[in-house]
């Protein structure tokens, strides 16, 4: 089973949400590197497929699941003073 190990410094829901987006970006970078290795014939097609199904897909699914969970929690979080008027055209 795949789970997320948050650092002890990541406590609040908003911190976890931001941390998950960082994890997602790191995972995509790792996926791109593995894809480059396959393209450059540094790994076999079997290794590429194994990486996708055994590593990338489960991690990506767990990160997405957690992002959705925290997105729902943060929708009702009124501790931030954020307002739509904070978005400005330049």
Per-residue 3-state assignment (H helix, E strand, C coil) for the chain = CCCCCCCCCCCCHHHHHHHHHHHHHHHHHHHHHHHHHHHCCCCCHHHHHHHHHHHHHHHHHHHHHHHHHHHHHHHCCCCCCCCHHHCCCC
Q: Quote the pLDDT of residue 85.
A: 79
Tokens 């410094």 -> residue: 9
Q: Is 83 exposed, middle or buried (0-12, 13-18, 19+ CB in 10 A)?
A: exposed
Supply the pTM of this predicted model.
0.82
Q: Quote the pLDDT of residue 36.
A: 98
Q: Quote the pLDDT of residue 83.
A: 74
- CB atoms near residue 20 (< 10 Å): 23
Ranges of the chain whose pLDDT falls below 50: none
Report the domain count for the chain: 1
Token pair of 27 as six digits: 């995972």
Indicate whether 3 belongs to any domain: no
Indicate whether 55 belongs to any domain: yes
Q: Quote the pLDDT of residue 16.
A: 94
Q: Quote the pLDDT of residue 19.
A: 96
Indicate whether 82 belongs to any domain: no
Indicate whether 31 belongs to any domain: yes
Residue range(s) defining the domain that contains residue 30: 13-74
Indicate whether 30 belongs to any domain: yes
Q: Quote the pLDDT of residue 90.
A: 78
Q: Quote the pLDDT of residue 86.
A: 80
């Amino acid at each position: 089973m795949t789970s997320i190990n948050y650092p002890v410094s990541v406590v609040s829901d908003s911190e976890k949400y931001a941390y998950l987006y960082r994890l997602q970006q790191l995972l995509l970078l790792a996926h791109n590197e593995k894809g480059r290795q396959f393209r450059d014939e540094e790994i076999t097609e079997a290794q590429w497929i194994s990486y996708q199904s055994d590593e990338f897909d489960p991690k990506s699914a767990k990160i997405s699941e957690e992002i959705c969970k925290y997105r729902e929690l943060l929708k009702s979080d009124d501790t931030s003073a954020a307002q739509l008027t904070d978005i400005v055209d330049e």
